Chains A and B, each alone.
Chain A
Amino acid sequence: MTAAVFFGCAFIAFGPAFSLFIFTIAKDPLRVIILIAGKANEGLAAISEEESSPISVREMAYVAGLGFGIMSGAFSMINTLSDSLGPGTVGMFGDSQYYFITSALMTLALTLLHTFWGVVFFDGCERKRWWVIVAVLCLHLVVSGLSLLNPLYVGSVPPVYVIMLLMAVWAFFSSGGSLHNLSLLWTCRKSNAETSS
């Protein structure tokens, strides 16, 4: 397979996650650590009680979710990407020829879904809304179940993307976003209340 397939699939699968990392995480070392190590240490907990914490719970939720998403995506995709650089014919024995592109698309969806699920889940825990937690778990199972329909890609990829868009909207609103904020964003006006990540 060609280098074009490799780069194309790599960028599809990891592009958004990588840009999220660059633009929102790379500048703050604490966030990088949470991304990799995944949980708050005692120091963080102690400090967030005292004064303005270096990192809020929402940021932690977002970063942890993104970390999970990147790791899950990397584990799913990295061997496939490496194989795409080598010789071979896709779908030689009657399998689908869209294997690489659908893998990349599913990986992207899963990465973003993990991010949104992280935000929503933490929010649900914070506000003690247990139905949110159950809903997140069920949605995760639904998405994984949909992937069982592969190679029938019509049945798996579009529904997963629909779910991802719904989750994006849910995460946006649960992390404090609102239509008002969006309109401010589009009209480039500053406001007092900022949309959290």
Chain B
Amino acid sequence: MNTSDSEEDSYNERTALVASEIPFVPSYQDQAQPTDMEPKRRHPVAPEQPVEPPILDRSAVEREPVIQDDEEELTLKYGAKHVIMLFVPVTLCMVVVVATIKSVSFYTEKNGQQLIYTPFTEDTDTVGERLLNSVLNTIIMISVIVFMTIFLVVLYKYRCYKFIHGWLILSSLMLLFWFSFMYLGEVFKTYNVAMDYPTVAMIIWNFGAVGMICIHWKGPLQLQQAYLIVISALMALVFIKYLPEWSAWVILGAISIYDLVAVLSPKGPLRMLVETAQERNEPIFPALIYSSAMIWMVGMANPARNADRASQDTDEEGYQGESDALARDRAEPETQVSPGMNRSYSTEEELDEEDRGVKLGLGDFIFYSVLVGKAAATGGDWNTTLACFVAILIGLCLTLLLLAIFKKALPALPISITFGLVFYFSTDNLVRPFMDNLAAHQFYI
């Protein structure tokens, strides 16, 4: 998973247990660990160490008291840079999902097939029944997710690393090969492209094999990022297709609440996972997390290695929680952090992690894209889609801002999804008829 050779030395198993060094001021890594949610797998966003940051902050402060003001300004500047570093992949993922939804009709066709996690049908006679069924579906789905997360925590506690690792690999295999094969098939059908099986086999084989390597082993950072975006989009499309209408909205709402609880409450599974990892002083295994930047190594070798490893660890800890789902489509992108350039800076250590970039769990990508994709799928209105898109970006911005303020891991779903849901329903019901009438008469406001 790491492109850095220094890390390889410390890997004695494939599950990448690395002695973790506590980073100095884990501000940005924490930020980027929103809960990763996936129906199949749930990644709780493990903020690296909930307890550590304050202590580290103090030590950092003691060490360089002068730096505080600069730190604030730098915090803002680098915070802004990191926000943008996340805007781009989130936007790309949403664009891919919306483009697919609008052009490939397969993902909006409902043929009555539903996931086993949502067994209640929404094809009922009354509105009340439909609402009840969607709530029941949500309860089942969230319970599955909670169960999977707890299962993962238990596995982790009892050190069944190989099991977890195998599960993750199986999951990403399915996503990279099977789902992309289905996607390719549907795209070909939509555009009426004649294609033969050997060519498709070669394309899918190459795509999948390179993906597995990039995600689980080594690869160029941008290629890995691209693969992570693609698999998030694929997962989001599967959800959009197979979740019934109302259930999808209720699930989105419930997932944000669960995210909030799991990451912030002391007994939350995510938090327990992170604490266990901290007790053992080891990173959580690589899972689905999107890493936006390279690690910048500090001038000195040893602190750099330590800081490097620490950031690695913290990143990995981020998404531990997943495991909810039965390992289906979960891909496992890893936190690919390639060793960056050497940087000479006076305030080296403080800047080090800031330049490490931010990490965002793939579950967040997926659920953001599900929200925007559903907005695009229901009704042909682009205003609603655009409004949801902007709402999610604003929510992400706020989450990262809170992260910079609190310096501990925060769930990335609640704020964005809340804004997204509010904007979706209000735009669809209030703004859309209004704008339609204005546009029909060409009145401008």
Contact = CB atoms under 8 A, between A and B. Distances in A.
Contacts of B442: 99, 102-103, 106, 147, 150-151
A82 B75 CA distance: 41
A41 B73 CA distance: 13
Given A110-B444, A147-B443, A33 B397 contact: yes
A148 interface: yes
A151 B442 CA distance: 8
B382 A147 contact: no
A54 interface: yes
Contacts of A78: 382-383, 386
A150 B75 CA distance: 50
B27 to A, nearest CB: 13
A179 to B, nearest CB: 32
Given A78-B386, A144-B443, A47 B73 contact: yes
A44 interface: yes
Interface string A36-47: 110001011011
B382 A79 contact: yes
B445 interface: yes
Contact of B383 (A30, A51, A75, A106): A75
A80 interface: yes
A43 B87 CA distance: 20
A107 B438 CA distance: 13
B84 A76 contact: no
B223 interface: no
A76 B439 contact: yes
Given A30-B77, A33-B397, A147-B442, A75 B386 contact: yes
Which interface class (under 10, 10 to 19, 20 to 34, 35 or more) fits A?
35 or more
A80 B381 CA distance: 10
B439 A33 contact: no
Interface string A72-87: 1011101110100000
B380 interface: yes
B224 to A, nearest CB: 22
A74 B386 contact: yes
A107 B445 CA distance: 10
B444 to A, nearest CB: 4
Contacts of B445: 72, 144, 147
Contacts of B79: 43
Contact of A80 (B69, B398, B431, B439): B439
Contacts of B305: none
Interface in B222-264: none
B443 A54 contact: no
B76 interface: yes
A96 B73 CA distance: 55
B415 to A, nearest CB: 12
A30 B73 CA distance: 12
A43 B386 contact: no
A122 B161 CA distance: 58
A32 interface: yes
Given A43-B72, A79-B436, A147 B444 contact: yes
A41 B72 contact: no
B154 interface: no
Contacts of B435: 75-76, 79
B383 A29 contact: no
B394 A36 contact: yes
Q: Which among B73, B81, B398 has the highest number of chain A CB atoms within 10 Å?
A: B73
Contact of B83 (A29, A44, A76, A148): A29
Interface in B380-400: 380-383, 386, 390, 393-394, 397-398
Contacts of A33: 80, 83-84, 397
B72 A46 contact: yes
A126 B404 CA distance: 29
B84 A82 contact: no
B444 A106 contact: yes
Interface centre among B76, B386, B398, B404 (most CB of A within 10 A): B76
12 contacts: A33-B397, A36-B87, A37-B397, A41-B401, A43-B72, A43-B76, A43-B404, A47-B72, A50-B73, A54-B73, A76-B435, A76-B438
4 closest cross-chain pairs (CB), A and B: A150-B442, A29-B84, A147-B444, A29-B80
Interface of A: 29-30, 32-33, 36-37, 41, 43-44, 46-47, 50-51, 54, 71-72, 74-76, 78-80, 82, 99, 102-103, 106-107, 110, 143-144, 147-148, 150-151
Given A33-B83, A71-B390, A80-B439, 5 more contacts: A30-B80, A43-B72, A54-B73, A75-B431, A144-B443
Interface of B: 69, 72-73, 75-77, 79-81, 83-84, 87, 380-383, 386, 390, 393-394, 397-398, 401, 404, 431, 435-436, 438-439, 441-445
